[in-house]
Amino acid sequence: MSSIDEILGVDQVEHHLAALDVAVEGLLGKPLTGLSDDQVVEVIQRLETSLRKAAAVGNRLVVEAVERSIPGNLACRSVNEFLIQTLRISGADAAARVKRARKTGVWHNISGENLEPTLPDTAAALATGAIGTDHVRAIAQIMRKIPHGTDTDHIEVAETILSDAARSTTPEDVTTIGLHLLAHLAADGNAPDERDRKRMRGLRIGKQGADLMTPISGLLDPETRALLEPVLAKLARPGMNNPDDPESPSGDVESPDLDRNALAKAAARDTRTAVQRNHDALTAGLRHLLSSGVLGSHRGLPVTAIITMSVQQIEEENGIVTTASGGILPISDALRMAEKAHPVLALFDHRGRPLHLGRARRLASAEQRLALIASSGGCTRPGCDAPASMTAVHHIREWRDGGPTDIGNLDLACDHCHALVTDSPGGWKTHTSPDDLVHAGRTAWTAPKHIDPGQKPRINHRHHLDELIAGALEHARARREAEVREQRGGACGATGGWHRQARVSGGGDNDSGGDRDGDVP
């Protein structure tokens, strides 16, 4: 009898393992050529969900191995070595599995009672197959960077926001969201102050080497980055200012003399990396700066750093603000920059949406675009983090279908996402959220069926993390108060229907009709 037969419940474990073996063998022997395109998509998704659930089972087995001291009993120096020898996996893979189990596994105290996972929402999402191991790694890396001294509520809320985001986006996007989330948490007083930033700022231009190349390194302070980003957004677009392509358009992408067909062809053959395009853009920008007025405008606006801040931030002189290019600025730096900026007045209603600026033409005015930058912050498609400087003005109801160029029918979408809005089976749809929802007036996107079979409209909160944090904090505090009341024998049903694993970030607003994934950061 094998060792597994000696474990309590062995028959059930053996039954499930045998069924798993049969299922995998069956799939390996099944020809897939007969599947339709839709079926191929469905099989890929279902298989990925099963593999993610299997990773959660792996966490449980790591916990069992550690708590039973199995590695030591087998003369292994660590659980990592045990996994390497037993499974013939790499050291990096073994380390990743152990770290994942420590963060999302259910461990036990000396009395055998279950301990809540370090990342409970992440653990719940992994167990249901909603996220994968790379999502877990991205969340754990961000959580480790939360500043010391951050209160428990904010730590809990941060994990909730990240795990919810992971359910509908990629691990790379989770990292991007996390970095912005860290900036918001640090804005409460944990970030380096202005003296530290002044001390750390610097730009090192090294000596030219034998290849005539010059190394550059250093740190940009938030203000300098905010000034640089709109220039790069204008000049570093694929296909523009490519020194290796004699037919590449030069200058700026908004020039009225620009041949759009030539740009499209140049972009298609542009093999430069993003950092190479930035370099070439800097070259072009410095060249243009030698003569006045060459930079012109970008997407209908002057090339400048566009900053949005609230009246409350101005009064309190506290917190952080974002630029149209997606940069992050401490309020002190933003106020200093505002002293030198041309004032722009944006009027908003009580929902934070810009007031009506009607237009009888197809192209949005500069004033309308400024209002959209201030209110939306960037691309409005769920999961997209493109800043406002990389977006175009999108007609929610298409112009060709009679949609007016009024502010209520306009919002921002990056070029990639804008092209996704089509009438084809794989196209996205956009509409304005109705007045009876918390985020009324926001642009909701409906994904095609192969992405979301339920066709639930979703809101992008990526550029409104302050809303997510505030809403999630409110839920966390309400849940804690309800638990205290229940422990005291008060309202026993106060927490009914709302557990930690069922929390909804973003103030509990289900624009999609009640699904926790309805609002995507």
Nearest CA-CA partner of 359 in 344, 371, 348, 350: 371
SS3 state at 307 = strand
How confident is the model over 71-103, as pLDDT tens digits? 999 999 999 999 999 999 999 999 999 999 999
Task: Give the mean pLDDT of 153-175.
Answer: 87
Looking at the predicted structure, is the pLDDT value of residue 495 above 90? no
Q: Which of 148-162, 188-202, 355-369, 466-480 is modeled with the greatest confidence?
A: 148-162
Name residues whose C-beta falls within 8 Å of residue 225's C-beta, 6 or more positions apart in sequence.
327
Q: Which two tokens stand for residue 298?
A: 């970008």
How confident is the model over 55-78, as pLDDT tens digits? 999 999 999 999 999 999 999 999
Cα separation, 415 vs 422, whole angstroms: 13
SS3 state at 333 = helix
Give the strand pairing for 443-446 and 459-460: unpaired
Question: Are the C-beta atoms of 255 and 288 separated by less than 8 Å?
Answer: no
Nearest 10 degrees: CA dihedral of 201, 207, 210, 212? 70
Higher pLDDT, 342 or 186: 186
What is the number of H-type helices and E-type strands within the chain? 18, 15
In degrees, rounded to 5, the angle at the alpha carbon of residue 415 between the alpha carbons of residues 409 and 419 is 75
Predicted TM-score (pTM) of this structure: 0.59
Looking at the predicted structure, is the pLDDT value of residue 197 above 80? no
First to last CA, the chain: 52
Question: Are the C-beta atoms of 294 and 251 separated by less than 8 Å?
Answer: yes
Cα separation, 221 vs 198, whole angstroms: 7
What pLDDT score does 436 carry? 66
Q: Which of 91-95, 347-351, 487-491 is modeled with the greatest confidence?
A: 91-95
Cα separation, 275 vs 293, whole angstroms: 26
Instruction: Indicate left, alpha or beta for 296 from its phi (over 0: left) and psi (-120 to 50: alpha).
Output: left
Cα radius of gyration rounded to whole Å, the chain = 26
